[in-house]
Every structure is written in structure tokens, then in C-alpha cells.
A and B are shown apart, each in its own frame.
Chain A
Amino acid sequence: MIETFKQLLAKNEQLNKYDIGITIDEDRVATLTGEVDTWQQVVDIGHIAGGIKEIYSVVNNITVKGLEIPVPDYTKEIETARKIGVIHETDVLVIGAGVSGCSVARTMSKHSLRVAVVDMHDDVSMGASKANSGAIHPGHMAKAGTLKAKLNVKGNAMFTQLHEELGFDMKRRGGYGIGYDEEDKKVLEYIVKTAKLNGVPGCDFFPVDELLKLEPNIKGRPIIATHNTTMGTVEPYEVVIALANSAALNGVKFILGAQVYGIEILGDRDFTVITRKGLIRTKYIVNAAGVHADDVAEMVDDKFFTIHARRGTIPIFDKRIPYPYSTGIGTVSKTRNVESKGGGCGMTPEGNINSGPSATETPYKDDTATYKSDLDYAMRIAYSVVDYLKPSDVITYFTGVRAADYKEDFIIGMSKKVCGFVNVAAIQSPGFASSPAVAEMVEGIILDDCKAADIPVEDNPNYDPFLKPKANFRRLSHEEQDRLIQENPKYGHVICRCETITEGEILDVIHSPIVPTSVDAIKRRTRAGMGRCQGGFCQQKVVEILARELGKDWVEINLKDEGSNVLAAHNREEATTDEDA
């Protein structure tokens, strides 16, 4: 393995000048050391090692000359947490309330085990799970034979039932891939071949003539087309919030705003997790910490993989702009081949065109800032698929950071060294589509271990997979809207004019199990502030409602996490609100 790596590195003209050290342990985990000039080189070398079949996993400790990535010191925070003491005891503690963590928590709530979820943010779905395209991938892009491929195909199918149980928006519009030349053709042929190997249902070549009849807005004349019937889209944060609410209703405890600073191993299946809110005792830990999964693994001294963060930017277009196709259309565009970064241009279930994401490797795991080059890339994809889009049609853009490892596959399993510590790591695209299958796999791992350890597990007799359907005022007929307002007048008070979101809907979500405490949390649950004016008019009304319902002062209301207060101070104490006047 070492020889193969050295040969591959020597062949690479850009990278062979660097002195890179490699060691391989008994578990075939490669550890890389050395110093290079750019972060991209760190990643490229990591991928060279990861690409070697025999290597199980890569720990990449290569540094960049002159680049210091600060390592946080949590000594003080840990001291504070110890002073607070044990705040909760549980059987399964999930670290990370993204789609993986919340799926695992909900699935585990079917059983008698006590389950809790911690997250550093004040809401669920705050990492990559909220900042992605919402694609429910069929499984045709995952490399054949990988865990990713298997779980993607399975998870995609499971989404149908999940959608019925939880009521989130999902559109399975399907998707076509079109190609214009021989090169495109090769790519699409490879995709269909992969799909067949992966067992993706409903993915095959499609007659071009028929496609042009179905989709008259396709430009030019493609020479080849493929069809994917199972391609779907969701509003991703909506899914995670629904999973979390369902989990909470079934007994899962959510401890938010509780960053994990350290883990103490007291024995097999016996941990103390040190968080910002205090200590949590647990038998099992599920490490679903996204980009920080390797950092959490390091807390139990079993870091056998490195997560490298891949930044992706997505612009969202005004929903007034129509998507020109009835289904998703993916082109094998020339630009994309050159940049080989992927991304597409589709439509969200709500009807907004989105495009991207871009893909830029970054040494900063939490850097969700948007950079011009990333946005420009995503915009180019948008223009290539929908040629009448204009920059002024963009209503917002955001950036997420994918948690990739160097094998570019999921890492799911019980730690070989630490009994009771289960990794759900390196979950990146198509991690969203895979999440139900990921959860089922983790469920199997924990239940098998319980059996081995004679921990009794019963079914949860009260488990209810269904969530009460949401009132979606904007989607009702005027007659239905009228009936809803008669039931509760608060549905007659429109708060967000761009998206037509009523106070009734906002009150519904404030009084749901996972209580939204910030303006953005309300936005993700109701769409208030998500439209073209981006909260220009309704933010103040949302602040007012949140303060009233949570018994807080306006200046205590945050836009996102703690420290993001919308307002700095009271000004004129004598100022009266409209209601008082």
C-alpha cells in the first residue's frame, strides 16, 4: 500500500516535489504527514491515498505552509460543564441533529431504549442538512459497490413512506439526463451502467424524440437521454424538523445549544459526554457530528478518518420565474466537465428554481460564508439549464459545508476500539436520500450490540410514526382558507406577505415539540421571511410574536443562535407598541 501510494505520488507532477510521510496500521488506516503549499494539495494527496483500494481509511495530517488552523481549547468550558454536573441520563445519545442524527433518533424511538440528541446549535438541521439542494437522489451517481450506493438506493425508496408519515413536501418529478456529443454520451452510458449495478429502479435510456415531445423547451437536439423515475426533491430542513418533532413526540429528548467539548469513557457502553449545558451519561454514542465527526471520534481516541470540508453554494430564484421543464433536466455540460464539480439546476417543491451547489475544498469546517467564485459557479449552472434567468431573479443564496472523507464513502459502524461508540460519519451527498437507510443500519448495529450485551430492548408501545398535518394556508382554496380562519382567526392574519404565511401557522410551530426560538427557526418551519423581500416586512412581526409567545423581551430574540440578537437595545422606553396605542 505504501509503495502504491509513493508510486502514485511520484507520477503526479504537481505533487511529487513534496515529502509526504505515510504509515499504515493493522486496520489498514493510512496516516499522512508532511507540508505542502495549498489546501487543495492536502486534499489531492489525501484522495490519492483514499483511492487505493486496500487502504481502509485515511487520516490526513498534512499541513499547509503558513496556514494555521486554530485548534479550540475547551479547558474552561469543560470545567464549567463539570460544575453544572449531570443534566441527563440516557441509553443512546446522538451527537448532531442533522438529517442523519434525527433519522437515527426517530428510528431508535421505536424501541424501549432512552434516546437523546445533542447539538451545538439552538435548532436542529443547522449544518449541511439545511444548506443543500434538497435532492433525493436515486442512487445512480454513487460508485458501485460502496456503502453509499447501497444505502442511497434503499433510502430513496424509504422516502415515500417517510413522506406519508411526516407530511413534509416531496415531489418525485423524476429527472432526465441529456447529452449532446460523444463525450456526453460516454458519461450517460456510465451512469446507466452504474445505476444497473446499484439496482436503481426506473433508471434507463430514454428515446430522445419522445423526450423532446414531453419537454419542448429543451434546447438544441440531444443525441442521448436517460430517465430517472425516482429522482425527488424536498425542502431539506423541513424533513429534518419533521423527523425531530416526530422523534420528540416518541420520547426522544433534544438538548440544543449544547456543543460537545469532550467525552469520558468510563467503561464499555458507559460514557460521560461533556457539553455546554452540562454532563450527559449514556450507554451508546452515535457520532453524527457532520464536519466535526472526526473531532468527536478523536474525543474517544479513535480518529481513524479525516473529514475534509467541501463548501457548496446554492442560489435560490424568485418563484415567479418558471422552471421550463416538467421534470428535472440535467445536462452534461461542458463547463461542468472542465471544472468536474457537479451540481445541477432544479426546482424546489415550493417552486423556486435553485442551482448548484458548487464544490470548493476548505480548511475551515464551519465556514458557511458565501464567496463570489462559488456563487458565480452555481449561477453558470443555472444559466446553462434555464437561459432566461437573470441575476436580479436571485432572492437569496447560502453555503453549506459537506463532510467528506478521503474514501468518499459513508463511515457507519461501531468503533473497533471503543465499545458503544457508533460512527455515522462522512455522510455527504447523497446523504439526505440515504438517511432513512442509514438510520435503519444504525438501529441494527445498536440492537445487535444490546443483544450481545444482554441489554433488554422492547418495542415502544406508544410509538406513532405519524405527525399531525400542517396547516398550509397558502395552498388552500379560498373556501378552505375561509373555513380555517373560522376555526382559528389567527389564520386570517397574514404575517409574511411574500409567501402568504399567517400568524396561525407561526403559532402552530412555536407550540410544537422542538420549539423554534429564533427568527430563522420560524423561517425554516413556516417560510415566513423566505420570500423575495427576505423578511424586510415580516421580521419585526416575527420578533414580536416570538417575544410574546416565549415570554421574552424583543432584544432577547435571536436571528439564529445565541449572540445573534436582532436588536441591540431599547431606545425610547416610553415608545408604545401599536397594540398599546
Chain B
Amino acid sequence: MKMLNCDVAVIGGGPAGLAAAAKARQLGAENVLILERDIRSGGILRQCVHDGFGLVRFGKRMSGGQYAQHFLDEVNELGIRQLLNTMVLEITKDRVIYACNETDGMLRITCGAIILAMGCRERTRQQVFIMGTRPAGILTAGAVQRYINIEGYLPGKKAVILGSGDIGLIMARRMTLEGMEVEGVYELMPTLGGLRRNKVQCLDEFGIPLHLSTTVTQVYGEQRLEGLTVQQVDENRNPIPGTERYIECDLLVLAVGLIPENELSIAAGIEMDPTTRGPVVDESMMTSIPGIFACGNVAAVFDLVDYVSETGETAARGAVRFLQGEICADEPYVQIEKGENVGVMIPQRFHPSCIGDEGLSVYLRVTKPLEKCVLLAKDGDREVYRKRHDIALPPEMLRADIKKDAAPAALKLEVNG
């Protein structure tokens, strides 16, 4: 078995991992290693030919590939080693990685710090309990995107999309542009699942209807999908009898949510947050195992890639501090409290004396749509962050940037509508 050592190993060469690796190197980590299972780094961005990436970070619209290339160039300029086609099979509590590929065989990598950046996977047809047969022609949006944008194939002629999250909306436009018919986008919830700008650009401009509070309940066809039933749902998301409508189609595209891919983290014994479905992390994105960090969509599903990269850089700062022995491992954690209207939130806890010069960013989603609201971070009665939002929607993440000077001893986040 081949033995390797590195200061920082980054598992996953997507937007989180690339940003983390570059930042770790820039901050002085000598030997940074990226482990990527695909034939090249870039992650899911490789198949995102649409634009809209990088607005927050670079102030311009980039395609997924362009956004990834920016970081990939940085990684290459910094001379960071990438092991491609390499699958990580196990990570241990004492920061050893077992990975394999065709050329090296099994690798045992002893790491100073590990940054988890494995991203997420898509929920499947079974996880939303669509009844009926099991024909070809039912695919997740990401799989459709890969077939069309990377492999050069069309997976159907007439598609129905379930789920109005960003990937669903983007794929509605993509498939239309590629000459496929998109019958409509169906959304179980009464509100849009993705960003508003994506609805305008991807559905409205192409005349693709969006049906809210409607879901796919049954599919038909023995070999290839022949059609499906859509049905309206009540406020408890139960299908309303009598509202069934049959649609003939040969492709059902599922954009029904993302799940952080934490099989390695769980197997390593890392403490998980059932709400984010990612590891519980602190101000430097460190997990419950010292020296193992998590960033991007493996930690929580983000709406913007800019945030994904940001958390990668936060994790990198933490990893470098850990290598330098500057992590306040002895100081007890303070839980960050979720106040009014706060749903998913990351990080979940922090060390009050460990907030670096860059401050502490807390990302959160509201539990319901709010207008003219205020995002507040409080230490007891003292406000340490305040920002007005004209509108706050559950699909769009909010960020509270708490300055180091605010020096909170405790934190509670709330969104008052």
C-alpha cells in the first residue's frame, strides 16, 4: 500500500474543495492535496453551462465552468497536487485517509488536517414516494444535465419536471434550448423552490408553466416512461382526490432536493446535525473531530456557489490554524441559538475567543417567506449584527457577518418579519 503524508487533504475538487485548497496553500500550508473522484476537478460546476455564478464574489455573471476554472487556475498556479480518478473509501478519527485509484492502488494518506468537500447528491424518485412502474426515463436533474451538457445525449423528447428548485428551473431552459419539449414544472410546495431570477430567466421567458401545490403521484410504462399523473395537494401536502391529470411524456426530471453526502463523515463518527444533514461545525467549519473540517454542500446545502467557496476558505483558515496549534480546542463551545423564523443554520456553535479577523459568518434559511424583515444576531440583549431585507424566502440563504470587534459571548439569530 502506498503511503503519503500531507498537511491538508481536501476531499472533493468542487467549488468548496478548490477554494479550500487554494486558501490553505496561500496561508502557508506546504503540502496540500486534493482527492477528486472524477477525471478532473470542478465538481458539478463542470456540467453547469448556464451563467449566474460568481455574482456575489466577482460581481459578474460567469458560467459554472468559468467559475470553477478561476479556482482551478489558482490551484494550478499554487502547484497544488491533485489526485484525480481517486475515490476516498475511509477517513479515520486520527486523520488517516484510505483512497484508491487505478495507478496507485490503495493509498494510505496521513494528514495534518482534513477538509471534507464531497458535496451533495440528489433525492430520488423513491425518496419522494412516486408510485407506479419502474421504467427508463425517470432521472434526477443532475443526471439529465450531465447527459446533455457533458455527454451530448438527450434523455427524452417530452419532459415533465418535478421540483422548482434551481436545478429544475435551469434544466427546463436547457432542455427547451436543446429542442426538447418541457410540458411544465410542478412544485409540491405552495412557493417557488429556487431563486426568483431563475424563474424569470428559465421559465417565464420560455413560456414554461409553473404549477405550485401540485405533484407527480404515479408513473406509467413498463419499459420506457409513457406518462404520469399530476395531482394538486392540500396544505398538508396530501394529494387532493379528483384533481388528477394525466400527462403523456417520456421523461420525468426530478429536482426534488439535495442531500449532503456524508457517508465518510458518518462512518468516521463525526457528529451530525439532523437539520442540515451535514456535520455540526464551528466558526472555522471544524467538525466534532479535531482537525477535520467540512465546507460547502457537504456541510449544508447552499443556494449560491459563492457561499460554498467562502466556507471552503473558512475551513482552510481553520485547518491552517489547527496545523499551527492555534485552535482553541480547550475552550468550551457556545451553541448558536436559532430564534424566530430561523430554519437551517450553519455553523451551529462557536468558540467566543476564536473569531478571527475575518469575523464570523452565519448562514441561515428562513422557515417561511417574509417581507420587510430584519436579520438580527444578538448576544443576550445586545445586537451584534442587523440587516434589513425587503424580502426573505426559504430557498435564498441569508448571511450574517459578525465582526470580531463585536466579540459576542453568546449568539442568537432571528429574522423578525
Q: Are A and B physically bound partners?
A: yes
Q: Which A residues contact B (CB, under 8 angstroms)?
A: 320, 366, 368-372, 375, 391-392, 394-398, 478-479, 481-482, 485-486, 489-490, 492-494, 497-498, 500, 532-534, 536-537, 539-540, 554-555, 558-579
Given A559-B136, A573-B152: A493 and B102 within 8 A (CB)? yes
Name A392's contact: one of B127, B143, B266 (CB within 8 Å).
B127
Asked if A554 contacts B154 (CB within 8 A), the reply is no
Secondary structure of the B contact surface, majority rule:
mixed
Q: Mark B74-104, 1 if CB is under 8 A from A, else 0.
A: 0000000000010101100000001011111
Q: List 28 A-B contacts (CB under 8 A).
A: A369-B132, A370-B132, A372-B129, A394-B127, A489-B102, A492-B101, A492-B102, A493-B85, A494-B37, A494-B87, A494-B89, A497-B87, A533-B122, A534-B126, A536-B140, A537-B143, A554-B153, A555-B153, A558-B223, A560-B134, A560-B135, A561-B222, A565-B224, A568-B153, A568-B157, A572-B152, A574-B152, A578-B40
- Given contact pairs A370-B132, A536-B122, A566-B155, a sample of 15 additional A-B residue pairs in the complex whose CB atoms are under 8 Å apart: A394-B127, A492-B104, A492-B106, A497-B37, A532-B121, A534-B125, A558-B136, A559-B135, A559-B223, A560-B136, A560-B223, A564-B223, A564-B224, A566-B136, A567-B153
Q: In the complex, which residues 223-278 of chain B have their Cβ closer than 8 Å to any Cβ of chain A?
A: 223-224, 250-251, 263, 266
Name B250's contact: one of A394, A396, A568, A576 (CB within 8 Å).
A568
Q: In the complex, which residues 53-68 of chain B have their Cβ closer than 8 Å to any Cβ of chain A?
A: none
Residues of chain B within 8 A of A370, CB atoms compared: 131-132
Asked if A536 contacts B131 (CB within 8 A), the reply is no
Asked if A569 contacts B154 (CB within 8 A), the reply is yes
Q: In the complex, which residues 20-71 of chain B have their Cβ closer than 8 Å to any Cβ of chain A?
A: 37, 39-40
Leading 7 A-B pairs by shortest Cβ distance? A575-B152, A482-B106, A559-B136, A564-B223, A494-B87, A563-B223, A489-B102
* Max chain B Cβ within 10 angstroms of own Cβ: one of A497, A500, A578: A497
Distance in Å from the Cβ of B147 to the closest Cβ of chain A? 6
Asked if A554 contacts B102 (CB within 8 A), the reply is no
- Among residues of A, the one whose C-beta sits closest to the C-beta of B142 is A536
Q: Is there a chain A Cβ closer than 8 Å to B209's Cβ? A: no
Residues of chain A within 8 A of B154, CB atoms compared: 567-571
Residues of chain A within 8 A of B153, CB atoms compared: 554-555, 567-571
Asked if A482 contacts B105 (CB within 8 A), the reply is yes
Distance in Å from the Cβ of B205 to the closest Cβ of chain A? 22
Name A492's contact: one of B100, B150, B157 (CB within 8 Å).
B100
Asked if B106 contacts A478 (CB within 8 A), the reply is yes
Interface range for B:
35 or more
Q: Is there a chain A Cβ closer than 8 Å to B178's Cβ? A: yes
Q: Is there a chain A Cβ closer than 8 Å to B148's Cβ? A: yes
Residues of chain B within 8 A of A486, CB atoms compared: 105
A105–B231 Cα distance when bound, in Å, is 48
Distance in Å from the Cβ of A572 to the closest Cβ of chain B? 5
Asked if B143 contacts A539 (CB within 8 A), the reply is yes
Asked if B105 contacts A492 (CB within 8 A), the reply is yes
A368–B223 Cα distance when bound, in Å, is 12
Asked if A395 contacts B223 (CB within 8 A), the reply is no
Residues of chain B within 8 A of A394, CB atoms compared: 126-127, 129
- Among residues of B, the one whose C-beta sits closest to the C-beta of A555 is B153
Asked if B129 contacts A578 (CB within 8 A), the reply is no
A489–B105 Cα distance when bound, in Å, is 7
- Among residues of B, the one whose C-beta sits closest to the C-beta of A482 is B106
Asked if A571 contacts B124 (CB within 8 A), the reply is no
* Max chain B Cβ within 10 angstroms of own Cβ: one of A482, A489, A568: A568
A490–B105 Cα distance when bound, in Å, is 10
A559–B133 Cα distance when bound, in Å, is 13
A77–B106 Cα distance when bound, in Å, is 54
Name B1's contact: one of A369, A397, A479, A575 (CB within 8 Å).
A479
Asked if B129 contacts A391 (CB within 8 A), the reply is yes
A558–B223 Cα distance when bound, in Å, is 9
Q: Is there a chain A Cβ closer than 8 Å to B390's Cβ? A: no
* Max chain A Cβ within 10 angstroms of own Cβ: one of B146, B150, B153, B266: B153
Asked if A565 contacts B136 (CB within 8 A), the reply is yes
Distance in Å from the Cβ of B111 to the closest Cβ of chain A? 16
Residues of chain B within 8 A of A479, CB atoms compared: 1, 106
Asked if A537 contacts B136 (CB within 8 A), the reply is no
Residues of chain B within 8 A of A539, CB atoms compared: 139, 143
Asked if A371 contacts B131 (CB within 8 A), the reply is yes
A490–B150 Cα distance when bound, in Å, is 23
Q: Is there a chain A Cβ closer than 8 Å to B151's Cβ? A: yes
Asked if B124 contacts A540 (CB within 8 A), the reply is no
* Max chain B Cβ within 10 angstroms of own Cβ: one of A320, A369, A394, A498: A369
Residues of chain B within 8 A of A493, CB atoms compared: 85, 101-102
A375–B128 Cα distance when bound, in Å, is 13
Distance in Å from the Cβ of A366 to the closest Cβ of chain B? 8
Distance in Å from the Cβ of A505 to the closest Cβ of chain B? 13
Residues of chain B within 8 A of A562, CB atoms compared: 223
Distance in Å from the Cβ of A383 to the closest Cβ of chain B? 15
Name B150's contact: one of A320, A397, A560, A578 (CB within 8 Å).
A578
- Among residues of B, the one whose C-beta sits closest to the C-beta of A559 is B136
A567–B150 Cα distance when bound, in Å, is 14
Residues of chain A within 8 A of B178, CB atoms compared: 571
